[in-house]
């Protein structure tokens, strides 16, 4: 290796990297801000314009778009040597380039005339050229890879496998960069771009999909997608789905809470004075369904909670942290996956359908809770309705939730009939429903669901409202002396 071209926007580590290359006897080409940083550090280099014989022009728009640069990157050693010699083109063995920060600047709502100046042209062109010729050129677009290069060179050279890995990373970066530009420009004056390009990193194969005959992988490096167990077996496809559902609901609570999920639906939700109280209450809502479940908690797990969890079969546990004693106790459950609750990374929802996908964005909005019954809810009923409503938002439709102010009492989920959802919730209730409240994810089209709930002992109901028969439902509530609130927001989950 004889020559490296360094041209970076993000100068993290570039001076140290360049110094290492120089000490290894590698000549350096550079320009612009990178050249200035090298000069200030006393590292010898050749200006690109001096090497090409062409000055930078158009405020730096044109500086590396030259045959001596691209020929040096694309020239195949042992194949194009004569052509390179004829035109005075020297081989460039290492390319270190990262790009203008278009993604970051696009978030600043700059005028388009300013933003286009952050669309890098020469950088992606050089990266693609070097990546295409990866057998002869090592391409670095990420400062975290500088040590890989210097270590490999110190040991005698960069391997073919390392070169290919760097090329894959380079093409992924230019693809993501072009996608960001395309999505932004296509989205101007439109809530969604006409053409949408998406990239996720960190792809990891899973043992199988929803069922053993299906293949699956998970992509993503942050949030739930990037969560890796600190103990236990690798996560499965269904584990990730259930964990995402559990954490989504958990984030509705500020007070001490426990969420237990089975098959993408909550089967027990509770708050408590202590985490142990919350866990036992949530588990006892439906102990049969809690067997083999996913548990999400929003407080550190101590030895008391660990002991209770270990007394039954649990697939996955996630919490902000674990005490040393808890980790020691839970280690006995070798297959139980333990994860640390990640910071939220909320994003638009994407779902595949035959021939394409559905894309959904949930903008900030406010519910408008309005008492529509003659009787106002008591403070206790109102607190219980708020808990039931949170759970409703994260349960498959049609859903009916019975609750008191601390826990769910009965959950009816995923039914075609709302009345059937209510009957299932009543059947599965683990405590008497007298004095409970009930929540419905969508409006009640008829009074029948309210009447079933009232017969079971519910005294208050919360629902979106909006049915053409709202007046009939309100009349039924008044006849039963039930308090009823309309929220104005529906929470279907399909």
Which residues have a catalytic role annotated?
A: 132, 263
Could you give the CA distance from residue 397 to residue 491 in angstroms, rounded to a whole number?
A: 8
Pairing of strands 94-97, 138-140: parallel
Give Cα separations from 342 to 161, 227, 360 (angstroms): 33, 7, 23
CA distance 258 to 278: 6
Sign of CA dihedral 105, 106, 111, 116: positive
CB 336 within 8 A of CB 235: no
Closest to 358 in 3D by CA, of 347, 369, 349, 370? 349
- Count other Cβ atoms within 10 Å, centred on residue 310: 17
Which of 53, 52, 14 is CA-nearest to residue 33?
14
């Amino acid at each position: 290796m004889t020559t490296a071209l360094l041209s970076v926007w993000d100068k993290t580590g570039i001076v140290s990297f360049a110094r290492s290359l120089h000490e290894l006897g590698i000549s350096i080409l550079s320009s612009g801000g990178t050249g200035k940083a090298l000069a200030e550090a006393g590292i010898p280099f050749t200006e690109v314009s001096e090497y090409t014989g062409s000055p930078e022009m158009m405020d730096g728009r044109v500086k590396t778009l030259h045959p001596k640069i691209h020929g040096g990157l694309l020239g195949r050693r042992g194949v194009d040597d004569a052509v390179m010699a004829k035109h005075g083109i020297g081989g460039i063995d290492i390319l270190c380039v990262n790009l203008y920060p278009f993604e970051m600047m696009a978030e600043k709502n700059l005028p388009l005339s300013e933003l286009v100046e952050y669309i890098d042209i020469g950088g992606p062109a050089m990266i693609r050229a070097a990546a295409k010729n990866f057998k002869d050129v090592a391409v670095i677009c990420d400062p975290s890879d500088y040590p890989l290069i210097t270590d490999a060179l110190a040991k005698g050279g960069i391997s073919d496998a390392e070169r290919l890995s760097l090329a894959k990373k380079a093409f992924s970066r230019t693809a993501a960069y072009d996608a960001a530009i395309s999505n932004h420009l296509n989205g101007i004056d439109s809530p969604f771009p006409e053409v949408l390009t998406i990239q996720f990193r960190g792809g990891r194969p899973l043992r199988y999909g929803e069922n053993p005959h299906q293949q699956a992988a998970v992509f993503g490096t942050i949030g739930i997608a990037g969560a890796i167990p600190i103990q236990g077996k690798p996560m499965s496809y269904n584990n990730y789905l259930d964990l995402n559902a559990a954490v989504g609901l958990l984030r509705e609570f500020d007070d001490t809470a426990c969420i237990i999920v089975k098959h993408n639906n909550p089967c027990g939700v509770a708050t408590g004075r202590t985490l142990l109280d919350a866990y036992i209450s949530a588990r006892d809502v439906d102990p049969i369904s809690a067997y083999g479940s996913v548990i999400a908690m929003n407080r550190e797990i101590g030895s008391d909670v660990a002991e209770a969890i270990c007394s039954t079969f649990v697939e996955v546990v996630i919490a902000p942290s674990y005490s040393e004693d808890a980790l020691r106790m839970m280690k006995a459950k070798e297959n139980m996956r333990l994860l640390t609750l990640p910071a939220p990374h909320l994003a638009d929802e994407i779902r595949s359908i035959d021939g394409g996908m559905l894309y959904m964005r949930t903008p900030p909005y406010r519910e408008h809770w309005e008492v529509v019954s003659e009787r106002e809810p008591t403070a206790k009923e109102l607190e219980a309705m708020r808990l039931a409503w949170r759970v409703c938002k994260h349960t498959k439709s049609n859903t009916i939730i019975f609750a008191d102010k601390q826990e769910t009492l009965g959950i009816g989920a995923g039914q075609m009939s709302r009345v059937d959802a209510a009957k299932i919730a009543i059947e599965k209730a683990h405590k008497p429903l007298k004095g409970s409240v009930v929540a419905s994810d969508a409006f009640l089209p008829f009074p029948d669901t309210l009447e079933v709930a009232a017969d079971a002992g519910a005294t208050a109901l919360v629902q979106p409202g909006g049915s053409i028969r709202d007046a009939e439902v309100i009349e039924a509530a008044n006849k039963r002396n039930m308090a009823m609130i309309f929220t104005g927001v529906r929470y279907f989950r399909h």
